[in-house]
Structure 1
Amino acid sequence: MEFDAVLIAPRRAQMVAQGLWHDRTINDDLDACVAACPDKTALTALRVEEGGTIRFTYREMTRMADRIAVGLARLGVGRNDVVACQLPNWWQFTLTYLACSRIGAVINPLMHIFRERELSFMLKHGEAKVLIVPQAFRGFDFEQMVAGLRGDLPALEHVVVVGGSGGNSFDALLSGPAWEDSADAQAILARSRPGPDDVTQLIYTSGTTGEPKGVMHTANTTMANIIPYAQRLRLGADDVVLMASPMAHQTGFMYGLMMPIMLKASVVLQDIWEPGRALELIRSERVSFTMASTPFLTDLTRAVAERRLEVPTLRTFLCAGAPIPGPLVEQARAVLGTKIVSAWGMSENGAVTLIELDDEDERAFNTDGHPLPGVEIKVADDAGQAMPAGEPGRLLVRACSNFGGYLRRPHLNGTDADDWFDTGDLARVDAEGYIRITGRSKDVIIRGGENIPVVEIESLLYRHPAIAMAAIVAYPDERLGERACAVVVARPGHSVDLPSIVDFLKREKVAVQYIPERLIVRDTMPSTPSGKIQKFKLRELLRTTTA
């Protein structure tokens, strides 16, 4: 695969001179962990459905990473080859990434909620050579789904199945044989280690162009974010991180997979969110930090209150993905005894703004924090001129952690000649530099931290035989932040209802989380003189009908 990460080279000299790029990779940090604390527990992975727990010390994790790396090489994977990984928060996910890093391969994390429609585009666009999936998870047969896709994926040479029993199982091909002891293992592991500016992660984000965009990151761009992030949160080697947010999202990947290794800390993975199990893990594993979206905080607070069990080790809960209601912060502080930190970020940058641990609690529900070191923000008008404090405008970011660009879509990179990246969000900034996201110029709905690709779903609805016009808009939800509502105009002589729309989108193999959960049928759509649907009027309609 040829990567066009065009945003890396032009800013390298400046980033290194300012000490913002550290010119090291996860290999260096993993090797340092083995040298300093080989027998420390690095990873604890709980599988909720099966009830099993697996632990790795840093020594064991490094040996397994080397084993899987040589196994991948035996499958023909080499430098710059893409290994797609559609796994929940299982140990195989973490070890696959570390193995890819050993041989210069690029990991492509894929959400386990993706189905044929999303996967067929991402796997073809990213030219994945290997795809790793569960045999089954939460009652869904991933192996069967992928079998139906392979005919349209010429670059895909191997499908590896976690939990399978055949010759294509993860254990048979990668984690079972002691590949690291073979005569050529050290030569394989030494010849292709990536440099800090090589693309190491390809992660897709839902955009407004009707197709996902492949975000390219390097060790320098990700670590330039993780290091100041951990410093602001005062995290170190003594911390235990709970990660129940999917590692196929940047939240889980950067702060649940990479960060614990960089800190020589420990991580606990939970594959299915059950607040009761999370509470048990926090208590038994002495978890001190976690990061997740608002629904997780709501659920955990309720579980602790109902069970009347304390979580004294949990110092910090970083909440991102949606605004945190003030009453929830107050309740969580009282029930958990935990500092609630608000933050804002993107797949393209990682976390951009966080509040400080010493800030008043109201900062967590009135703001989305202020920039990390190495990050600049500007709230600007349409001409790029900075807006006065308190006035809303387009949120622009110039960051050491800015991505390398969108794979094969450089015209969409959204970065100007001065390196300002247009986030697509609207915000205001106060006199102290704290921002508040006020809306978005991009047409995206965020449901429980998961971006819904509005344009793609609307395009599908226009193919529904009973629909003449369609628009997807957000409506507020106390737990998830937002849900999606379909507003449609029926074709003459036709009727349409929500079950028919749900069935139609399921037949189109759309992820369940992307399907609208409410329907409004109208005779006409509010529109501009040019015919463009005025979504702000539809949102006003929803606010009045849900009030």
Structure 2
Amino acid sequence: MGNLALNLAATVANTPEAPALRLGDLTLDYAAVDAATARVAGLLRARGIGPGDVVGISLPNVPAFAICYYGVLRAGGIVVPLNPLLKERELAFHLEDAGAKVLFAWEDVADTARAGAAETGAEPVIVPADGLDELLAHVEPAWEHAERHDDDTAVILYTSGTTGKPKGAELTHANLAANCEVVASTLLNLSPRDVVLGALPLFHVFGQTFALNTVIKVGALLTLVPRFDPAVVLEVLERDRVTVFEGVPTMYTALLHHPGAATYDVSGLRLCVSGGAAMPVEVMRGFEESFGCTVLEGYGLSETSPVVSFNLPDRERKAGSIGVPVPGVKMRLVDDAGEDVEEGEVGEIAIRGHNVMKGYWGNPSATAAAIPDGWFRTGDLARRDTDGYYFIVDRKKDLVIRGGYNVYPREIEEVLYEHTDVAEVAVIGVPDARLGEEVCAVVALKPGGTATADDLTEFAKLRVAAYKYPRYVVLVDALPKGATGKILKREITVPSDIGRAR
């Protein structure tokens, strides 16, 4: 296969005038997207960027994201997709760790981008809100595609463990191409006639593989929504006769409960895909009844490109299950020693296949810990039924999934520990009817400390992205600990009113 960007080249050769990307009144055909990616590659080449160089992309769901993404790949570069909501300190860490030389950043976050880039030596390229035309107008296009090998890194996706700094999962051209093929053909049965809604963030692996890369591969249309709003999504579903909707469970809940949902014509929908967190069975049933469309759930991680398992369209769909392994991927349930657990027992999901990352960028020890024997350890605990369907039962990691976004407690704890009044802190997830989970910080203050819960919320809010900061802060005298002094999160109790939106 080589360079993943060759998927775009193949589609352009077949259907240059087919619509590729849509945002509001703007529609770009494949020839226009291809030409723009050649100019992005030319812009990068003029800045000395070549094969193997790292380029950050901090953009929302706009056509410029897709164009920059494929432009970087065309030039042979490595893409580091970044959430545009990241604050300066977070952005600087990612750019520094990846060794990014250039950062494409959205005009709305230009100040943060410039400040974060200045700390690392990366060159910021600000993308205007009205698109790339002006920026690329006088750039000499680079039409060729840099030669890349299957095992060369294409994308670095940062995923934070529950300990230490975020780690960059290296996904190769072969990882992404193979997973894209499985999604397009086996899972979605996608064709050039399909219209896919791009509401999932493209900087996240779910949106990248299921929306961007599969659409480009088959020559379908990706209609973009920069920020999820149920009313806007319903309008786009009707306007563009969307056939495939992909989202996290909170998106389905919001659409299902939107007061005007029944007034929109969404009869074009043929398939919906849910991932990112377990979808409540009642939400699934309600959505299918109201929208007349099947919802299929799957499972994956940044480290696995992402798809591992899925409720396949031609097999029984089991509500609450993450399905069966997709073609080319193997799953096992193992104990702490890496041995298979007994049938019916709970074990940690271990994965092997074309989708498993090359490793963690510049972090061989973390790679060895995650893939000790050729099987990637997910940290997720599951059971398998007699039909081979997997059911997630718990997470070994203390991950909080808030509205489909991963929030890693250790990161928030470290920020709160910077407050001069904080002695101890534990960040946990608490149930939330709208978002699935909400972030809660349980804090013990130092003697004489006067910080209030609101003070600590504001302190964190200024230092981390908006979806991460704790909406709840509970002040306690001390946190429960084990014999070694380790804080025991499982023994933390919070007031019964926590979990109602603040």
Same fold (TM over 0.5): yes
- CA gap of 1:492–1:223, structure 2 versus 1, over 3 A, is same
- CA distance in structure 1 between the partners assigned to 2:499 and 2:234 by the alignment: 33
- CA distance in structure 2 between the partners assigned to 1:29 and 1:381 by the alignment: 40
Which residue identity is paired with 2:173?
A: A
Query: Which of residues 252, 272, 295 is equivalent to 2:227?
Result: 272
Query: Which of residues 1, 13, 16 is equivalent to 1:35?
Result: 13
Contact kept, 8 Å, 1:279 with 1:304, in 2: the verdict is no
Aligned partner of 2:336 in structure 1 is: 382
Residue 370 (structure 2) pairs with residue 392 (structure 1):
no
Contact kept, 8 Å, 2:457 with 2:472, in 1: the verdict is no
Residue 209 of structure 1: how far off its partner (Å): 2.5
Residue 369 of structure 1: how far off its partner (Å): 1.4
- CA distance in structure 2 between the partners assigned to 1:29 and 1:383 by the alignment: 41
Which residue identity is paired with 1:308?
A: T
Aligned partner of 2:265 in structure 1 is: 310
TM-score by length of 1: 0.86
Aligned partner of 1:81 in structure 2 is: 53
Residue 523 of structure 1: how far off its partner (Å): 1.9
Contact kept, 8 Å, 2:427 with 2:440, in 1: the verdict is yes
- CA distance in structure 1 between the partners assigned to 2:331 and 2:23 by the alignment: 37
Residue 104 (structure 2) pairs with residue 149 (structure 1):
no
Which residue identity is paired with 1:449?
A: G
- Match of 1:412, SS? helix
Aligned partner of 1:65 in structure 2 is: 37
Q: How does 1:298-377 map to 2 (within 5 A)?
A: 298-303=253-258, 306-349=261-304, 350-359=306-315, 363-364=318-319, 366-377=320-331
- CA distance in structure 2 between the partners assigned to 1:164 and 1:327 by the alignment: 39
Residue 389 of structure 1: how far off its partner (Å): 3.3
Contact kept, 8 Å, 1:199 with 1:216, in 2: the verdict is yes
- CA distance in structure 2 between the partners assigned to 1:164 and 1:313 by the alignment: 30
Contact kept, 8 Å, 1:78 with 1:104, in 2: the verdict is yes
Query: Which of residues 124, 134, 153 is equivalent to 1:159?
Result: 124
* 1:477-508 deviation line (CA, Å, top 9, x unaligned): 1221111111111222224422111222234x
- After superposition, the CA RMSD in angstroms is 2.1
Contact kept, 8 Å, 2:83 with 2:203, in 1: the verdict is yes
- CA distance in structure 1 between the partners assigned to 2:116 and 2:11 by the alignment: 40
Query: Which of residues 493, 499, 507 is equivalent to 2:454?
Result: 499
Residue 463 of structure 1: how far off its partner (Å): 2.4
Contact kept, 8 Å, 1:472 with 1:486, in 2: the verdict is yes
- CA distance in structure 2 between the partners assigned to 1:469 and 1:39 by the alignment: 60
- CA gap of 1:201–1:330, structure 2 versus 1, over 3 A, is same
- Match of 2:101, SS? strand
Query: Which of residues 54, 63, 81 is equivalent to 1:109?
Result: 81
Query: Which of residues 94, 104, 110 is equivalent to 2:66?
Result: 94
Contact kept, 8 Å, 1:294 with 1:319, in 2: the verdict is yes
- Match of 1:460, SS? helix
- CA distance in structure 2 between the partners assigned to 1:426 and 1:348 by the alignment: 17
- Match of 2:35, SS? helix
Aligned partner of 1:50 in structure 2 is: none
Aligned partner of 1:531 in structure 2 is: 485
- CA distance in structure 1 between the partners assigned to 2:329 and 2:147 by the alignment: 29
Aligned partner of 1:179 in structure 2 is: 140
- CA distance in structure 1 between the partners assigned to 2:157 and 2:373 by the alignment: 25
Contact kept, 8 Å, 1:226 with 1:254, in 2: the verdict is yes
- CA distance in structure 1 between the partners assigned to 2:314 and 2:433 by the alignment: 27
Contact kept, 8 Å, 2:297 with 2:323, in 1: the verdict is yes
Aligned partner of 2:360 in structure 1 is: 406
Residue 397 (structure 2) pairs with residue 433 (structure 1):
no
Aligned partner of 1:469 in structure 2 is: 424
Contact kept, 8 Å, 2:303 with 2:356, in 1: the verdict is yes
Contact kept, 8 Å, 2:195 with 2:223, in 1: the verdict is yes
Contact kept, 8 Å, 2:255 with 2:261, in 1: the verdict is no
Query: Which of residues 106, 110, 113 is equivalent to 1:134?
Result: 106
Which residue identity is paired with 1:127?
A: G
- Match of 2:258, SS? helix
Aligned partner of 1:283 in structure 2 is: 238
- CA distance in structure 2 between the partners assigned to 1:416 and 1:282 by the alignment: 41
Which residue identity is paired with 1:35?
A: A
- CA distance in structure 1 between the partners assigned to 2:496 and 2:209 by the alignment: 36
Using the TM superposition, name which of 205-214 and 145-154 deviates more.
145-154
- CA distance in structure 2 between the partners assigned to 1:393 and 1:542 by the alignment: 32
Q: How does 1:117-266 map to 2 (within 5 A)?
A: 117-136=89-108, 142-154=109-121, 156=122, 158-163=123-128, 170-173=132-135, 175-177=136-138, 179-180=140-141, 185-186=142-143, 189=144, 192-230=146-184, 231-266=186-221
Contact kept, 8 Å, 2:428 with 2:489, in 1: the verdict is yes
Contact kept, 8 Å, 1:279 with 1:303, in 2: the verdict is no
Residue 453 of structure 1: how far off its partner (Å): 2.2
- Match of 1:228, SS? helix
| 5+ long unaligned stretches in structure 1 | 1-22, 47-52, 137-141
Contact kept, 8 Å, 1:103 with 1:194, in 2: the verdict is no
| 5+ long unaligned stretches in structure 2 | none
- CA gap of 1:223–1:471, structure 2 versus 1, over 3 A, is same
- CA gap of 1:546–1:201, structure 2 versus 1, over 3 A, is closer
- CA distance in structure 2 between the partners assigned to 1:145 and 1:417 by the alignment: 38
- Match of 1:389, SS? coil
- CA distance in structure 2 between the partners assigned to 1:109 and 1:351 by the alignment: 18
Residue 27 of structure 1: how far off its partner (Å): 3.0
Contact kept, 8 Å, 1:294 with 1:479, in 2: the verdict is no
* 1:392-413 deviation line (CA, Å, top 9, x unaligned): 1211111211011111111111
Aligned partner of 1:13 in structure 2 is: none
- CA distance in structure 2 between the partners assigned to 1:228 and 1:416 by the alignment: 23
Residue 302 of structure 1: how far off its partner (Å): 2.6
Contact kept, 8 Å, 1:210 with 1:453, in 2: the verdict is no
- CA gap of 1:543–1:194, structure 2 versus 1, over 3 A, is farther
TM-score by length of 2: 0.94
Residue 24 of structure 1: how far off its partner (Å): 4.2
Structure with the greater relative contact order (CA < 8 A, sep ≥ 6): 1 or 2?
1
* 1:58-95 deviation line (CA, Å, top 9, x unaligned): 11211111122112211221111111110001111101
- CA gap of 1:312–1:152, structure 2 versus 1, over 3 A, is same
* 1:94-143 deviation line (CA, Å, top 9, x unaligned): 0111111221011110011111121110011111111111111xxxxx22
Using the TM superposition, name which of 473-482 and 385-394 deviates more.
385-394
Contact kept, 8 Å, 2:3 with 2:147, in 1: the verdict is no
